[in-house]
Structure 1
């Protein structure tokens, strides 16, 4: 199919808070320049690509926001219609055993949330998208960025998804080819483990060679509960149950109001220990008396899942390259110590916008000009925050208790543990772990449909939709299905794709050929399969634009 070609100065791939902040801040800088200068006016043709079908529909988070960044980004953000938010009223951190809870008597400064807000990230995304469109910035929804255009070692554009191919890749009646959007700079802000980022990393070697990126899977539900169980702004974080000490993760519960709570569970996603079930962990978490007492007789109204970038400062990729910039979680800007990333995403977007503004002013989009983004980051508060927290996640690589000791001592007495681990994640060693106990416990679990739910029931609350008759966006070769899924993986790991996917995308049936069935229309776009697969044979790619979840309160 012949592609339509459009030319822009800047294309933003992804409509999350980082890229929308970048687009809005850039528009503000250009308008400010044109209003004060007597010389040549600047013109910037920009576009934002969003693969979801609705504003904010693919944005999922806890979420607690440090509002200081909004004051800097848009001083009148409240007057501009910022979504309702509850100030944090009280907070606690609990260690959970199977039936009991133990409160941490003292919260170190990085864990405190005084002055912060409990927000809905999907609502913030929808709000920012509305502001962008009001300011003349086109946001192309239902449009997935599928591959960069690279010419003479420089990114010069991006290809968007084809519409109207059947499951075998043939053109259907009325099919529309994707577009080629030529651009002087591509800004990639597609969250954790994005497909564009993977392609750019292969081409330009963006990730540090001595510190591999790590990820977690966050699974979340929003509940409507009885009055009097919580007060608006109340937050709880937990560690311990239901995870064994060797596995990193924990739970949260945030009171969006006196009647609605956001709760979820984060579990380490690692190919070396792939039989981890984030959905099951959330269901077990809800059965703890602390959580049950709040949710009982309530109604679950939304469900979702996403991968979380957790490697920290030392695992951050290069932030720029020939013709492109990285923002937000794509750039590794998430602080696991504070369990926050929205403020860092907005900061990265503002720094990217300032870099692009200077490039427009000097009519210079060379790699050296774009690399000033890295210099801005090095001088920023975001850099200092991430650098100070650089060891937090790595401290838990040897288990919960050693991690608590290391992190606790370092927070209590800064500088006491300056010795740093430089070890990279080890490749998986098949056959070294036994999962019989796990499998037995998991298979005996029976959700009650009131407090705990099956994957199918939860998935229904995510309002996930895909065009059924399209090529499968989860790429596994037939040879790998035959040789690995039916053979090695079954023997060595027990086919963990049936566990680590929180949407039930993968089914194994050894009585059929092929043994693997992929329910691609269930996909929540969390990308856990691309991360946790112990053999690296699953590649997540964007489905036809407009497919996926449609979050409203997450």
Structure 2
């Protein structure tokens, strides 16, 4: 199939690019073929975020979004910042919070619902969107440029042989390919290697966001409240913090972001999140409520100094695929949307000039000169300071840095990220073994019951999309040195240690996979390969 532009990923970045391309084409009286491929069963099925949306990009893309029914129903009414210890909570006065971290004018949203609405706007303009199509690789021309993508085969059995319903993966050719597959995308990683888009100094950093959706009693609900916490339960174990967003209809999004550069291999981000809900201040809010949703997703945290080259021959990287999250704001969707719009403008200009499959160098410059670049430069030292100085001193530095920036002082230095997240784990014998309380089934839950709420599904008779490159390394490194960290960091119980012939062995329950990509990030041996499963599999988030 041939298109002018193919876009990988129907998230805010990809859909914004598609909409802008069609807007430009219609304004010029041209017909432009734009195709969006989405590996989820439907648009929004794999979208997961807090989420508080800064509407700055939406105002530019669709100025009349309110009249068009955009699902931004809950404006932020007030911010609250808490520092927690095991029993107490202290409120940070609002006046001490730097302006960049306040949420005036923002909206609490379901990112899945917002993505689905963007998709309807794109389709109304003539964009073709195909859910259930998982992109396995790029297609390269004779000169090495990307000329499109190929989707994964459907109907392959566990034995690797075609089944009766076998369908070979289709190639989608285009004059330009836009990659917007989110954090730690498989295609992104291949393109970074193929074209050398990332050098050794541009280390990407990540966090793991784990989220639940609750319906709570009305008397405990404060519509429009945005609450963030620091301190307990992670404390000195890891960097990170909690978010609690009160949406409409007595709904609350609650989650914990754990920075993945922690050292203790027995730390479990999922269990740390369960501990959070036991805090008296949090438990009182959730008491009598019902948990109705669960999910997890990796978050890019490297920021300005971790951005790779954004353009390659035949295409560009957008949004979280490149890593455009503002860590102190815990926001990236507005930057993702803007990057999609800027990419669309570069692509349209190239097509109008009769070009194809070349490197859109002006796109990277557009990003740098836009408010994306200004915002990411302003907060560039926050994440490295947290990693370098620890949670307490790093937070103090972050506050001083942000306040100085607000007062107009531009600090001349830029901290570098020291090492990738997988290299931060220490030998299990050097660290205390962390034990966690059993779930009570009221506020805290096990992974199996949580997984049910994510609506995760994979075709049972297909090859595992999670494989070990060197199985023998697992025994000598992950198991012997690090005490099987994948069994601790995975938020879905994919990796399980079992007994086989009297020996400990790894069992991979690939059918549980939430596509969070944590194993691809944190595995200390770089041994776990995350392949693309059949399209339509994975989580089926609703209202998340």
Which TM-score tier does this pair reach, normalised by the shorter chain? over 0.9
Residue 449 of structure 1 aligns with which residue?
Answer: 441
Residue 229 of structure 1 aligns with which residue?
Answer: 220
Q: What CA distance in whole angstroms lies between the structure 2 residues aligned with 1:544 and 1:258? A: 35
Contact 1:430 1:492 in 2 (8 A): no
SS in 1 for 2:479: helix
Residue 82 of structure 1 aligns with which residue?
Answer: 70
Shift in Å at residue 312 of structure 1? 0.3
Q: What CA distance in whole angstroms lies between the structure 1 residues aligned with 2:46 and 2:169? A: 21
Instruction: Please report the TM-score for the alignment, with normalisation by the length of structure 2.
Output: 0.95
Contact 1:275 1:435 in 2 (8 A): no
SS in 2 for 1:143: coil
* Match status 1:501 vs 2:490: yes
Q: What CA distance in whole angstroms lies between the structure 2 residues aligned with 1:142 and 1:191? A: 16
Residue 169 of structure 1 aligns with which residue?
Answer: 160
- Comparing 510-519 and 242-251, the one that deviates more: 510-519
Instruction: Please report the TM-score for the alignment, with normalisation by the length of structure 1.
Output: 0.93
Residue 12 of structure 2 aligns with which residue?
Answer: 17
Shift in Å at residue 367 of structure 1? 3.0
Q: What CA distance in whole angstroms lies between the structure 2 residues aligned with 1:224 and 1:132? A: 31
Q: What CA distance in whole angstroms lies between the structure 2 residues aligned with 1:112 and 1:66? A: 11
Residue 461 of structure 2 aligns with which residue?
Answer: 469
Of 119, 143, 153, 2:133 maps to 143
Contact 1:304 1:524 in 2 (8 A): yes
SS in 1 for 2:394: helix
Q: What CA distance in whole angstroms lies between the structure 1 residues aligned with 2:348 and 2:361? A: 13
Shift in Å at residue 390 of structure 1? 0.8
Contact 2:265 2:426 in 1 (8 A): no
Superimposed CA distance per residue, residues 308-353 of structure 1 (whole angstroms, 9 cap, x where no aligned partner) = 0000000001110100111110121110121111110110011011
Residue 98 of structure 1 aligns with which residue?
Answer: 86
* Match status 1:428 vs 2:417: no
Contact 2:72 2:107 in 1 (8 A): no
- Comparing 163-172 and 129-138, the one that deviates more: 129-138
Contact 1:524 1:548 in 2 (8 A): yes
Shift in Å at residue 174 of structure 1? 2.1
Question: Which segments of 5 or more consecutive residues in structure 1 lack a partner in the other structure?
Answer: 1-5, 35-41
SS in 2 for 1:515: strand
Of 353, 369, 392, 1:379 maps to 369
Shift in Å at residue 438 of structure 1? 3.4
* Match status 1:517 vs 2:517: no
Q: What CA distance in whole angstroms lies between the structure 2 residues aligned with 1:321 and 1:91? A: 41
- Comparing 292-301 and 374-383, the one that deviates more: 374-383
| CA RMSD of superposed structures (Å) | 1.7
Q: What CA distance in whole angstroms lies between the structure 1 residues aligned with 2:425 and 2:375? A: 37
Question: Which segments of 5 or more consecutive residues in structure 2 lack a partner in the other structure?
Answer: none
Of 3, 27, 32, 1:32 maps to 27
SS in 1 for 2:297: strand
Q: What CA distance in whole angstroms lies between the structure 1 residues aligned with 2:262 and 2:279? A: 28
TM-aligned CA distance change 1:375 to 1:423, over 3 Å: closer
Residue 433 of structure 2 aligns with which residue?
Answer: 438
SS in 2 for 1:384: helix
Contact 1:246 1:399 in 2 (8 A): no
Shift in Å at residue 454 of structure 1? 0.2
Contact 2:304 2:380 in 1 (8 A): yes
